[in-house]
Amino acid sequence: MDLLRSSVLTLIVFLPAVGSVIVALMPKEKEDLIKKFSIWWSVIPLLLTTWLAIDYATNFLRGNQMAYQAKFAWIPSIGVNYHVGADGLSVPLLFLTALLTTLGLYYSARVIRKRVKEFFLLFLLLATGMFGVFVSLDLILFYVFWEIGLVPMYFLIGIWGNPKDRPQYAAIKFFLYTLAGSIFMLLAMIGVYLSTGTFDILDAAAKGVWLNAPTFAMLSFWAFFIAFAIKVPSFPFHTWLPDAHTAAPTAGSVILAGVLLKLGAYGILRVLLSLFPGQFAQFGWIVALLGVIGIVYGAFVSLAQTDLKRLIAYSSVSHMGYIMLGIGAVGVALGMKNVAGAQESAAMAFNGASLQMFMHGIITGALFFLVGVIYERAHTRDLKVFGGLSAVVPVYYATMMFAGFASLGLPGLAGFWAEFFTFRGAFGIVPVLAVIGVIGIVITAAYILYRIIQSLFLGEFDPKRWDHWTTVFGEHADGPTDMALFEKVTLWPLVILMVLLGLWPTPLLAFFNEASVNILSSLHF
């Protein structure tokens, strides 16, 4: 058991990479074998993360212990270690990553028709990068995984992107944007070492970074923050996102929205918060402000979209704004040591932000899958050509309804809890900003209902309006066909999660709540 516990994270992280090497060695004509292998191989991390979640909840959750740690010297001369570990904040996200990876592979197996081998290879590699970020406890290791995730995504967007959406432009934009942020983060990481003599996140946090050099602390804070904010993405660093999401193949969008965006938020909570609590307290309001702008702005821009995928992409900007608002509120609360209730609100805001990370992952993941479903049939995403699908494809309609309403934060579905906790925290700390953010909720409802549901599903279905229908397998069809089995298998686990977590978020919340209480109480500055 101890052996398993000390190696499980390493296994989770590197198994996908091993898988991609194995795929690389397979002959590219054997597409079926490649697909089957990749899917089943990705199930292993899924099982491991499931076990991890259960084991963590039973044994380590109380006090949010940093469990499953493994630490080997990597570049001992500068104290860079291979140091991994997981706590209440990362365990659920690991599960989310594993789940979306498996679903993405499974879905792609049916819809990816060109350059199959490369796709599956890169997709598995991507998983390694994402897992890695969530378990890294060493800044350099963190950075390495952070960047590793970038490369496969670049290819996924560029190669399998829809040619109409300028995928090459989107891919390069995505890469450069993220790189531009992260390279400055690297400088700041070095700064952390120069200040504390260690790259270990936990050690550095314990020692405090740039305690006597406020200017450096401030610069480092912003360098980290901008890197994370670009990834999140927070207004005004979001413009890569609509392009990247729109251009990416379905599974790519799912991973991008479901996991990659979370890396930024996770980075803020794991790295920025623990290393620079003082600066966080000082600048938290800016973070919160950006979050609020993101919420409202993203929602309005979504409302103006007529391209379904771009709409959902912009909705991510809005939804990630909640995370930023929550995180910013946490920061502001750090500077309110004497205000009664502020710390409680901070814990709520932290919970809200982390819940949103998970919830947005499953919801927007599902939404992007749903875009894929209709796109594979209609070969367009222009909302103007649809209408009345509710009567024609009821299963698709029902699935979209769940995802859509979860996305607009309907109580009883997953998204609500994230919003509720975020606002519960934010109202206790930055009420003015929170009030503005509330506008976003209304606009969100407007674009989901008005743009998505109404345009796609309501009204009378008119076959004359669009005549390029095929089945999902590419055969000619007179109209849309309902979801195929594989699409149901892909989507329904997510829908089930939305409903279950909407009704009973407690198991998930237990993780995040322990994390938030303990992380917040451990901050000192």
Partner 1 sequence: MNYPSVFNLTWLIPLPTALAFFAIILFANPKKRLSSNIAVGAVILAWIMSWAVAIVFFLNPELTEHPFDLNAPWLPMGTITFHMGVAVDAVTAGMLFMVGFVLTMIFIYSTGYMSFPGHLDPAKYPDAAKEGLDPRYSRFFAYISLFATGMLGLVVANNLLMLFIFWEIMGLCSYLLIGFWFDKSYPDPKQITPKQAGLKAFLTTRVGDVLFMMGLIFLFIHAGDLNFQAIFGNQEFLHELSTSTVNLPFFGAVTWAGLISMLIFWGAIGKSAQFPLHVWLPDAMEGPTPVSALIHAATMVSAGVYLIVRMSPLFSAAAHGGSGVMMFVAFIGAFTALFAATIAVAQKDIKKVLAYSTISQLGYMFAALGIGAWVAAIIHLLIHAFFKSLLFMASGSVIHGVEHGHHHVHEHGEHGHEGYFDPQDMFNMGGLLKRMPVTGWTFIIGGASLSAFPLITAGFWSKDEILAHAWADGHMAVYWTLAAGAFLTAFYTFRQIFLTFFGSPRTEAAEHAPESVRAMTWPLVALAFFALFGGFVAVPEDFPVIGGLASDFMAKLMEMQGEFYGLHVAPAGFNWTPALISMTLALSGIVVAWLVYGRKPLAAGKPDPLRKPLGPIYTILENKYYFDEFYHLVAVRPTLWLAQFFFLFDRNVIDRIVNWVGALGRWLAAALRRWIDEFIIDAAVNGAGLVTTWTGAVVRLIQTGQAQNYLLILLLSVVVLLLLIPLK
Partner 2 sequence: MTLNVSAIIRLLSPELILLITAFVVIGVDLARRRQDDGRTAATVAVVGLLLAAFASVLLYLSQPGEIVLFTMAIDVYGLFFKTAAFIGIALVIIGSVNFMAGRSKYLGEFYALLVFAALAISVAVSATNLILVYIGIEFLSITSYILAGFLRGDKRSEEAAIKYFLYGASAGAILLFGLSILYGVTGTTDMATIGDLLLRSDSAHWLGLVALMMVLAGIGYKASLVPFHQWAPDTYDGAPTPVSAFLSTASKAAGFAVLGRVILTAFPQFQPDWTQILGAIAVLTMFLGNLTALKQKSVKRMLAYSSIGQAGYILLGLAAVNASPDFGGVNGLMIYLFGYIFTNIGAFLLLLAIEKKSGGSTDMEQFDGLATRSPVIALLMAFFLISLAGVPPTAGFLGKFYVFAAVMNQQMLVLGALAALNTVIAAFYYLNVIRHMYFSESTVEGGVSASKGLMTVLVVNAVMILAIGVFAQFFMVWVNNSVTMLVANGF
**Which chain residues interact with partner 2 by CB under 8 A?**
28, 73-78, 80, 115, 118, 140, 143-144, 147-148, 150-151, 154-155, 158-159, 167-168, 171-172, 175-176, 179-180, 183-184, 186-187, 190-191, 193-194, 219
CA 81 to chain centre: 26
Residue 172 or 395 with smaller CB distance to partner 2: 172
Q: Are 177 and 238 in contact (CB under 8 A)?
A: no
What does the DSSP 8-state code read for residue 77? G
Q: For residue 163, what are the contacts with CB-CB under 8 A and spacing of at least 6?
A: none
194 binds, among partner 1, partner 2, none (CB under 5 to 8 A by kind): partner 2
By beta-carbon proximity to partner 2, the closer residue of 1 and 163 is 163
Whole-Å CA distances, 43 to 1, 49, 103, 483: 21, 10, 9, 23
Which residues, 267 to 296, sit near partner 1 by CB under 8 A? none
By the rule CB under 8 A, 509 interacts with partner 1: yes
38/178 with CB nearer partner 2? 178
Q: How far apart are CA 253 and CA 7, in angstroms?
A: 31
Opening angle at CA 152, ends 146 and 153, nearest 5: 80
# chain residues binding partner 1, by CB under 8 A = 63
Q: Which stretch binds partner 1 (CB under 8 A): 41-49, 52-60, 247-255, 383-391?
A: 383-391
Q: Which does 423 bind (CB under 5 to 8 A by kind): partner 1, partner 2, none?
A: partner 1
Closest approach of partner 2 to the CB of residue 29, in Å: 13
Helix (H, G, I), strand (E, B) or coil at 27: coil
Question: Using CB distances below 5 to 8 A depending on partner kind, what does residue 410 bind out of partner 2, partner 1, none?
Answer: partner 1
Cβ 171 to partner 2, closest distance in Å?
A: 7
- Contacts of residue 348, defined as CB under 8 A and 6 or more positions apart, other chains included, come to 421, 424, 425, 428
Angstrom distance (rounded) from CA 44 to CA 102: 9
Question: From CA 288, how far away is CA 332, in angstroms rounded?
Answer: 8
User: Which pair of structure tokens corresponds to residue 435?
Assistant: 């009030």
> Counting contacts by CB under 8 A, is residue 515 touching partner 1?
no
The smaller minimum CB distance to partner 2, of residues 159 and 392, is found at 159
CB closer to partner 1, 43 vs 179: 179
Q: How far is the CB of 326 from partner 1 (least distance, A)?
A: 13
Q: Which lies closer to partner 2 via its Cβ, residue 139 or residue 373?
A: 139
- Residue 486 touches which of partner 1, partner 2, none (Cβ within 5-8 Å per kind): none
Q: Which of 231, 107, 164, 23 is CA-nearest to residue 489? A: 107
CA distance 463 to 162: 24
State yes or no: residue 416 binds partner 1 (CB under 8 A). yes
Residue 427 contact partner, candidates partner 1, partner 2, none, CB within 5 to 8 A by sort of partner = partner 1
Q: Per rule CB under 8 A, is residue 154 in the interface with partner 1? A: no
Kindly state the smallest distance separating residue 488's Cβ from partner 1, in Å.
Answer: 11
Q: Which is nearer to partner 1, 33 or 435 (CB)?
A: 435
Determine if 466 is a binding residue for partner 1 (CB under 8 A). no
The structure tokens listed for 265 are 């938020």
Cα–Cα distance, 98 to 240 (Å, whole number)? 25
**Residues 37-76 within binding reach of partner 1 (CB under 8 A):** none
The DSSP letter of residue 197 is S
Phi, psi dihedral angles at 28 (to 5 degrees): -75, -10
Q: Helix or strand or coil: residue 70?
A: strand
Residue whose CB is less far from partner 2, 152 or 242: 152
| Helix extents (H) in 197-213 | 201-207
Chain centre to alpha carbon of residue 274: 20
What is the C-alpha to C-alpha distance for residues 454 and 103, in angstroms, rounded to an integer? 28
CA distance 42 to 470: 30
Report, in Å, the least distance between residue 168 CB and partner 2: 5
Asked if 443 interacts with partner 1 (CB under 8 A), we say yes
- The residue length of the chain stands at 525
Instruction: Compose the 308-347 pattern: x for residues touching partner 1 by CB under 8 A, - for all others.
Output: ---------------------------------x-xxx-x
DSSP string, 120-163: HHHHHHHHHHHHHHHHB-BHHHHHHHHHHHHHHHHHHHHHHS-G
Rule CB under 8 A: is residue 445 a binding residue for partner 1? yes
214 is an interface residue for partner 1 by CB under 8 A: no
The residues that touch partner 1, with contacts defined as CB under 8 A, are: 173, 177, 236, 238-240, 242, 297, 300-305, 341, 343-345, 347-348, 351, 388, 390-391, 394, 398, 401, 405, 410-412, 416, 420-421, 423-424, 427-428, 434-435, 438, 441-443, 445-447, 449-450, 454, 457-461, 505-506, 509-510, 513-514, 516-517
